[in-house]
Copies of this chain bind each other. A is one copy, B any other.
Amino acid sequence: MNKKENILIIGAGLSGSLLALRLAQRGYIVNLRESRPDLRITDISAGRSINLALSNRGINALKMVGILDKVLPLCIPMNGRMIHSVEEETFLSNYSGREGEYINSISREDLNTLLLNEADKFENISITFNNKCKKVDLENNIATFWDYKSESEEKVEATIIFGADGAGSSLRKSMFLKREMLFSYSQQYLKHGYKELSIPPSNNGNFRTFKNALHIWPRGSYMLIALPNLDGSFTVTLFLSHEEEEYNFKDLDSKEKLSTFFRNQFPDAFKLMPNLVEEFFDNPVGNLGTIKCEPWNYKGKTLLIGDAAHAIVPFYGQGMNASFEDVFILDTFIEKYKGDWSKIFFEYEKERKKDTDAIGDLAIENFYEMRDHVANHIFKEKRKIELVLEQKFSYFSKYSMVTFNENISYSDASIIGNAQDKALLNLIADGKLEGLNSEQIFAKVKQETLDIIDDDKVAKTMHH
C-alpha cells in the first residue's frame, strides 16, 4: 500500500472533512478543496439547514475517528416528538420505548468547525477554501478548479478523487455528461418547499418551550417543526406546498396573510416568534429533492460519497447520518482491501447502494407520516402498541431500526420495518389484536411480519 498516494477530496463539508480525517489517520496524503470560504472565519449559513439530528449511525462514524467526546457537548438530546395541536395542546411521543434511545440536535456549523479543526491537526491534510470544482476529466483523473481569490483556473491531478461536493456535485455532473458511463440518474422533487425561521431564546437566555424534543405542528398538507440550539433558541422550519394546496408559499405574499396563517394554524408557536414576518420575507424557500445515481465510481479511481451520491429529504433525520455511515462502511473496505482502490470502490458500492436507496425512499415516506401524525387514528394506535412492545420485548419499530440500530442496514430496516408496519396496521384494522395481552400481541405481530416477508420473497423470484 502506497501511503504517498495523492488523494483529492472535493468538498470540505461534513462528509468531505470526516473522510479526510479518516484517510489522514490511515496515513494517506489528502488534498481537501472546498468551494465556499472557511466557515470558521466567514458566515456562510444562508441557504443550508442550520441544525441536524445526529443519531447512532453518525455517532458510530464519529467514534471511529475518535472525536465523539468532543461532539457530545455540542448536542441537545431530543427524546421524542412533541406534537402541537391547533388547540395548543401538546403531547410527547417518545422515539423509543427503551431508555437511552434518543436523537441529538446539533448545529451544522459547530460540527463542521470541529471536523475542520481536527483535520488541521494532520500534517498530511491540506485544506484549500474558495476552490470551486468546475469539472473532472474522468479518464485522466484531473479536476479543474476555479479559485475565487486569485480568479484563476487550476488543474489538479490525483491518484484517487472523491466527490464529497454535495447535492450539486460537479464530479457527478461530469459522470452524467460522460455517455459511455451509462450513468443512471434520478432527481425527484417534492411539491413542497421549506423555509427556516426561529424561536429566539427568552430574555434571560432560556428555551421558550420544552428543550428536549423535536417539536412538530402537523397539519396535513403542511407542517412546522422546531429543533433546539445550544443558545436557547429553536430553529423552526415550515414545510409547505410551493404553489398547490389550500395554503402555499406563492400565496403567502403579504404580512397580513402570513400572520393570519400562523396565528390560526400554529397559535402557540406564533406567540414565540417575534421575528416571524422579517424572517419569512428575508429567507429563501428551499427545495426538497432526492437524488440517486449509479455507478458511484469510474474505473476504480473516482468515487461519489455523501449527498453527492445520494441526496435525501430531511424527514427521517438521516441525511448527515447516512453520509457519515458512508465513510464508516467505506473504511471497512479500505481496511479489507488495503490499497486496491478499484476493489474497494466496487465492493463498497455493491454493499452500500441498496441502503442509501432505501433511506432515500424511507425519508420521503416519513414526510407523509409526520405531517399526518395527529389526524390518523390507526397510526396512533400502532405507535402505542409499538412503545409497549419496545418496553417489554426485543422489538424494534422501523423508526428504531433506522435511527438506533446501526447494526441493521437501511435496506433491512426498510424491508423488515415495512412488513412490520403492514402487519400491525392490518391486525389493528381487522380488530385481531383486541383483548390480547402484550405477549400474545408480540407473537402475533412477529408471525404476521414473517409471513409477509415470505410471501413477498416468493413473488419476487419471478423478477430476479
Contacts and interface: CB of A to CB of B under 8 A. Distances in A.
Interface in A366-396: 368-369, 376, 378-379
Given A426-B455, A455-B426, A379 B462 contact: yes
A463 interface: yes
Contacts of A121: none
A48 interface: no
A444 to B, nearest CB: 15
Contacts of A369: 462-463
Contacts of A289: 182
Contact of A421 (B378, B425, B462): B462
A422 interface: yes
A360 to B, nearest CB: 12
A429 B454 CA distance: 11
Contacts of A426: 455, 458-459
A357 to B, nearest CB: 12
Contacts of A242: 182
Interface stretch (A133-141, A184-192, A253-261): A184-192
A464 interface: yes
B187 A462 contact: no
Majority secondary structure, A binding face: mixed
Given A368-B464, A429-B458, A463-B365, A184 B187 contact: yes
Q: Which of under 10, 10 to 19, 20 to 34, or 35 or more describes the interface residues of A?
A: 20 to 34
> Quick one: copies of this chain in the complex?
2
Nearest to A429: B458
Contacts of A287: 182
Contacts of A422: 455-456, 458-459
Nearest to A365: B463
A422 to B, nearest CB: 4
A461 interface: yes
A101 to B, nearest CB: 22
Given A425-B461, A463-B368, A182 B186 contact: no
A425 B459 contact: yes
A287 B191 CA distance: 32
Nearest to A378: B461
Interface in A271-313: 287, 289, 292
Interface of A: 182-189, 191, 242, 287, 289, 292, 365, 368-369, 376, 378-379, 418, 421-422, 425-426, 429, 455-456, 458-459, 461-464
27 contacts: A182-B189, A182-B191, A182-B287, A183-B187, A184-B186, A184-B187, A184-B189, A185-B186, A185-B187, A186-B188, A186-B292, A365-B462, A365-B463, A368-B463, A369-B462, A369-B463, A376-B461, A378-B461, A418-B459, A421-B462, A422-B455, A422-B458, A425-B458, A425-B459, A425-B461, A426-B459, A429-B458
Given A182-B191, A184-B189, 20 more contacts: A182-B242, A182-B287, A183-B187, A185-B185, A185-B187, A186-B186, A186-B292, A365-B462, A365-B463, A368-B463, A376-B461, A376-B462, A378-B461, A421-B459, A421-B462, A422-B456, A425-B461, A425-B462, A426-B455, A426-B459
The 6 A-B residue pairs with the shortest CB-CB distance, nearest first, are A186-B186, A422-B459, A182-B189, A184-B188, A368-B463, A365-B463
